[in-house]
Amino acid sequence: MTGPALAALVFAGVIAAILVRIPVAVAIGGAGIAGTWAILGSAAGPMSQLKTLPFDIFSTPSLVIVPLFLLMGQVATQTGLSAALFGVAGDWAGHRRGGMALAGIGASAGFGAICGSSLATASTMAQVALPEMRARGYSDALAAGTVAAGGTLGILIPPSVILVIYAIMAEANIVTLFAAALLPGLLAAAGYALVITLYVRIAPEAGPAGARAPLKARLAGLSQAWPVLAIFGLTMGGMLLDLDWQSAGLQALFTPNEAAAFGAMATVLHGALTGRLNLTGLVEAILETARTTAMIFAILLGAELFKGFLALTQAPQALAGWVEAAGIAPVVVLAAMLLAYLIFGCVMDSLSMILLTVPVFLPVIEALDFGLQPGEAAIWFGILALMAVEVGLITPPVGLNLFILSAAAPGIDVRRIWAGVLPFILSDVVRIAILGALPAISLWLPRWLAG
């Protein structure tokens, strides 16, 4: 059996293993070990990898960012910043039709800016925004669709843990990826707001207007949102300025690792100073961070084993050569990859999708001519893949964010959740098509900061 054929067989085996609920780290890592064993004809090769590979991976300085950003999100959840954001947004928009749904999107974007996780954002907003919208007479479809779609902003608005992992896999600059994700993330939030506006125009009873909060109360409520704006502004601003200041020979405010450490410490200090974070909550946040970090690192180790197997088979290079020789239009190849992410999103989480597919897809993308500068294709594709992955998580019938909503609101018929999320999926598809056709939108901020 040829190397590419063996790679295709093993890849299919990984998908089958995930479908029967074998843990993703075990499925990917086991496939990498078995495939390497089959090629080399001996267990010595994969066993030798296992002796050195874990240290090589986990001693990577860039990975320090992962637990720090996760801790920032956990502490933000413990201290109720999500509820504060939703309350402030609701005060300013709740008197409009669909205003509380708009507040849910705004709060999801704000929380995503300090959380970095789609599933965490969706589950948190399901507890904060969903009951409030239902209590105000919003339709179950609109309320559930808003929370499910808003959850995807958790990894679209940087900083994003998934983007950090992608940067390591693609050997790309983390700060550049964060800069590239910022404008598409804001476009996503704007697109969702447009969907809600059109939704309540067509069906006004789905999102009734509430009472207008007094101006004094609205202004006073802004004090609840400033910590999020300050932490996000200093964390992201300090990193993004690095692209420009370094070229001028000046020292940046933060390296990515320092920015993550600052963000985590700032959220802890804010919680302690406001009395919202006690020792029990801090310990719980640290333990949950440790559990999530261990899960991510286990999947990352499995992905590296699988990546090593693919390198031995030369399958990615063979696939790229075949696509070039076949004369298939690059846009068709890109569309097929993005469609695959929508399908994979029904059976696995976003991190697993990225780690499983990037070693296969990225060499093909870099081999095709999209009219971009060297290195830009990896940045652009990373943003598109991130968005497609998130659409997969809200695609009926089995998107993972939909399961979270179903568990958080058992009183809502699952068919109403499906119906509510479809307009937001349409917005996602349109946005992906625009960003795919116009790479300059994603690349504008990195180019401007670097130039």
Q: 191 falls in which pLDDT band (50, 70, 90)?
A: very high
For 116, which DSSP code?
A: -
Angle at 438 between CA 434 and CA 441, to 5 degrees: 95
Q: CA gyration radius for the chain?
A: 22
- For residues 358 and 169, the answer to whether their CB atoms sit within 8 Å is yes
**Average pLDDT value for residue range 75-95:** 81
d(CA 13, CA 110): 39
- For residues 62 and 71, the answer to whether their CB atoms sit within 8 Å is no
Which tens digits make up the pLDDT trace of 171-186?
Answer: 888 888 988 998 999 9
Alpha carbon of residue 189 to chain centroid: 14
- For residues 36 and 308, the answer to whether their CB atoms sit within 8 Å is yes
d(CA 136, CA 145): 16
Start-to-end CA span in the chain (Å): 49
- For residues 79 and 276, the answer to whether their CB atoms sit within 8 Å is yes
How much is the pLDDT for 192? 94
The candidate with the shortest Cα–Cα distance to 240, out of 294, 183, 174, is 174
Report CA-CA distances (Å) from 342 to 7, 62, 179, 250, 394. 22, 29, 24, 43, 9
- Those residues whose C-beta lies under 8 Å from the C-beta of residue 76, and which sit 6 or more positions away, are 82, 111, 114, 115, 228, 267
**Average pLDDT value for residue range 406-411:** 72
- Number of independent structural domains in the chain: 1
How much is the pLDDT for 1? 67
Q: Which two tokens stand for residue 244?
A: 């420009």
How much is the pLDDT for 80? 77
The candidate with the shortest Cα–Cα distance to 384, out of 327, 435, 309, 437, is 435
Q: Which two tokens stand for residue 76?
A: 């933000």
> What size, in residues, is the chain?
451
Burial 290-323 (b: 16+ CB within 10 A, else e): eebbeebbbbbbbbbbbbbbbebbebbbbbbeeb
pLDDT at 244 over 70: no
How much is the pLDDT for 118? 77
- Those residues whose C-beta lies under 8 Å from the C-beta of residue 323, and which sit 6 or more positions away, are 333, 364, 367, 368
- For residues 186 and 179, the answer to whether their CB atoms sit within 8 Å is no
**Average pLDDT value for residue range 229-258:** 67
- Those residues whose C-beta lies under 8 Å from the C-beta of residue 331, and which sit 6 or more positions away, are 436, 437
Range of the domain at 170: 3-450
d(CA 117, CA 114): 9
**Average pLDDT value for residue range 156-164:** 84
How much is the pLDDT for 223? 73
- Those residues whose C-beta lies under 8 Å from the C-beta of residue 63, and which sit 6 or more positions away, are 57, 164, 168, 297
Q: Which two tokens stand for residue 343?
A: 């399908």
**Average pLDDT value for residue range 22-45:** 86
Which tens digits make up the pLDDT trace of 301-335?
Answer: 888 888 888 888 888 888 888 887 888 888 999 99
Coil, strand or helix: which one is 196?
helix
Q: 398 falls in which pLDDT band (50, 70, 90)?
A: low
Angle at 327 between CA 326 and CA 332, to 5 degrees: 105
- For residues 428 and 188, the answer to whether their CB atoms sit within 8 Å is yes
Weakest-pLDDT range from 83-87, 114-118, 384-388, 442-446: 114-118
- For residues 67 and 260, the answer to whether their CB atoms sit within 8 Å is no
